[in-house]
Structure 1
């Protein structure tokens, strides 16, 4: 094992809704309670990280990791429009202080998919007003906590809405086939997007969803962050990011700011070059004008996607698949870093990379291969400044519920007892004190 140089972040990542528990003012919480919800189960107490963060950060630090990426939950900070909760700011102040007490660099994400329920009722992520609402929230957080942070991710996977729109369109086409074929195709579609989604269940529930959403959000089609996004909504997210960056720099000019993108290693097979090029333009290149002033880019990658003469291809016959139906392909990370670095000239931080598997030996193998690729990139002069594994602990994988095992730490769903897996110490071994 080759350790990284001192100052390189070797960390793990979480998102508030997936680990904290009882995020009752959020849009996701509301959707989880719908009679015909697309969620496999509600988030509930999640991993109770809200109350157990000290134990979790200590486990991370004791294993040798030196950085922790977590998200600050907007729905906690501003549970009602214009009403900020100082007690919740103090909670996150304690999380930051706990990191520092253990020699861990806190890296905060200000929006990781979940939004306040009130924001969605006011038009959500297709409404122009959201840009200013987000800027106001970011300004409040920075005024309170900004001096205690060095790195901020404004928005997690700003491109996820477009990816979901493409997947949903493909899924609907497949769903027009016979029921048995649709079920099979649906599983394939779910495995091509880097977030836990239940497209089959969404299709089945569509006839009920409109009325239930209208009752909760005041609209039959609420525009949450991971709704299918229009091109206009896509650019609105980037304007929200730019507004947030402006606010952060005005209040704390020394803080380094970026966003994160969900990026696949897009590989063209014979006849697939045009499809792969178009997909990369949509997934990454068209964002470049909006992120060129950022201090860093958060690279998030889990697998590769193959394209042939007819478009996207399934994983190769006999390929190892993860619990999420992704192809086990840790080499993808190095390929994506190199491709991104050709166009984005700021620092790069791997803000998510990981694998859903119950077999921790495969997680160890994945980490070792992925980090070898990162080290190859650094050796070639690419400015990669950190690696955050997804995830610190087994948690709530959105619509998939608790069935996915992404964690470096196991969590007993009954007792909340934490059990570090061997992979946690393996990852920590790469850090230089």
Structure 2
């Protein structure tokens, strides 16, 4: 366990602030936006990264997963911004100086505005665009990086498709992201406004929009192309992808439905992961299914702010299932809960790390655990209304205040 990576994760758009060239910045400004509030300065991690990284060091953590914002690096198609590359070079150097292993995500949901105008994640052009961006970053920063996640939750577009189908039937569903479905009429008006805002496109295809089967495949093609291009530049890089996985549990004859759900979430991606160096596993809860489909959480189950069931046992279950089907190292790139009661997060961490230790004892190659998230931040369409962080932030002053759970990671791991 000495080389185990223990740390936390963030996403650039959720913490940096003022990612004005990104597609979600456009979506936030719409008159009928689905975003409950605007991201603004977020938690100003763009300027305060050194303070945040030093806090991780002080808490005994040794790894930090963060993303590079594509729209900062390539604000216009084919034009790369040297100043932004230098910024991320400084972030990487700060990690190294503080004994923190950086785990870099090349795409965490947000994309350049120009990409959406070009057809976004339903256009075949995205494969080459993403490959070229990743190759450029690897050429510039590869000497300071080791672990790279190409795409965060590559199956999220397919999960969004499922959400929209289910939403149309007025049923509940577990979705591991902050999506606002409270105002369907405003949502539809907002979609029309978004088409106009992106230059009159026929459809807006951000990474968090529902996809076609072809669009789902494009993501994996983009992953493979980017992985191979970065390897060609920097053979030492360990490269993988992350998927959002539920602990799918069948009840009352739901075995076939559970198998279908798992195939959609995980199994059908396996052919595209065989050359990866590790797998990024992201899990928050379980999903119960019967022969008719998904079921709500048990009536008396504790729930988080996201309305997930509080079920920390899910992570160990999913680790074991993934390992049974994919024989490469597993890195837990996200796992956590949204709650104002930090004692719940402390208990959650104790349970999940106990499960990770049991997996290691059974010689399952788990190489790290990165908690979501380092700080309370911008939870996409739900704004700042959800508290996933190990550190709270007073956004009026941007003052950081570590919670007890921040120190619980190393405490539980060393017990």
TM-score bracket, shorter-length normalisation:
over 0.9
Picking from 111, 118, 123, the partner of 2:114 is: 118
Picking from 228, 231, 235, the partner of 1:246 is: 228
Is residue 64–residue 429 contact of structure 1 (8 Å, CA) maintained in 2?
Answer: no
Find the aligned partners of 1:25 and 1:254 in 2 and give their Cα distance.
Answer: 31
| TM-superposed deviation, 1:311 | 1.0
| Higher deviation after alignment, 213-222 or 250-259 | 213-222
Q: What is the TM-score with the length of structure 1 in the denominator?
A: 0.94
Picking from 162, 173, 196, the partner of 2:158 is: 162
Is residue 67–residue 108 contact of structure 2 (8 Å, CA) maintained in 1?
Answer: yes
Find the aligned partners of 1:193 and 1:234 in 2 and give their Cα distance.
Answer: 17
Does 1:410 pair with 2:392? yes
Does 1:204 pair with 2:200? no
Q: How does 1:83-162 map to 2 (within 5 A)?
A: 83-162=79-158
Q: Deviations along 1:184-243, whole A, 9 cap, x unmatched?
A: x5xx33xx1000001223453303421442233421421001110111000000000000
Question: Number of residues paired by the alignment?
Answer: 414
| TM-superposed deviation, 1:430 | 4.7
Find the aligned partners of 1:386 and 1:203 in 2 and give their Cα distance.
Answer: 43
| Structure 2 partner of 1:235 | 217
Is residue 157–residue 259 contact of structure 1 (8 Å, CA) maintained in 2?
Answer: yes
Q: How does 1:32-431 map to 2 (within 5 A)?
A: 32-174=28-170, 185=171, 188-189=172-173, 192-430=174-412
Is residue 111–residue 206 contact of structure 2 (8 Å, CA) maintained in 1?
Answer: yes
Q: Secondary structure at the match of 1:115?
A: coil
| Structure 1 partner of 2:16 | 20
Is residue 30–residue 193 contact of structure 2 (8 Å, CA) maintained in 1?
Answer: no
| Higher deviation after alignment, 283-292 or 219-228 | 219-228
Is residue 214–residue 221 contact of structure 1 (8 Å, CA) maintained in 2?
Answer: no
Structure 1 outlier segments of 4+, above 3 Å: none
Higher relative contact order (CA 8 A, sep 6+): 1
Find the aligned partners of 2:408 and 2:169 in 1 and give their Cα distance.
Answer: 43
| TM-superposed deviation, 1:279 | 0.2
Find the aligned partners of 2:176 and 2:40 in 1 and give their Cα distance.
Answer: 23
Is residue 393–residue 409 contact of structure 1 (8 Å, CA) maintained in 2?
Answer: yes
Q: Deviations along 1:84-124, whole A, 9 cap, x unmatched?
A: 00000000001001111111001100000000000000000
Find the aligned partners of 1:202 and 1:217 in 2 and give their Cα distance.
Answer: 24
Find the aligned partners of 1:215 and 1:116 in 2 and give their Cα distance.
Answer: 14
Q: Secondary structure at the match of 1:349?
A: strand
Picking from 3, 7, 10, the partner of 2:6 is: 10
Q: What is the TM-score with the length of structure 2 in the denominator?
A: 0.98
Runs of 5+ unmatched residues, structure 2: none
Find the aligned partners of 2:354 and 2:189 in 1 and give their Cα distance.
Answer: 48
Q: Secondary structure at the match of 2:87?
A: helix
Find the aligned partners of 1:55 and 1:430 in 2 and give their Cα distance.
Answer: 24
Q: Secondary structure at the match of 2:26?
A: helix
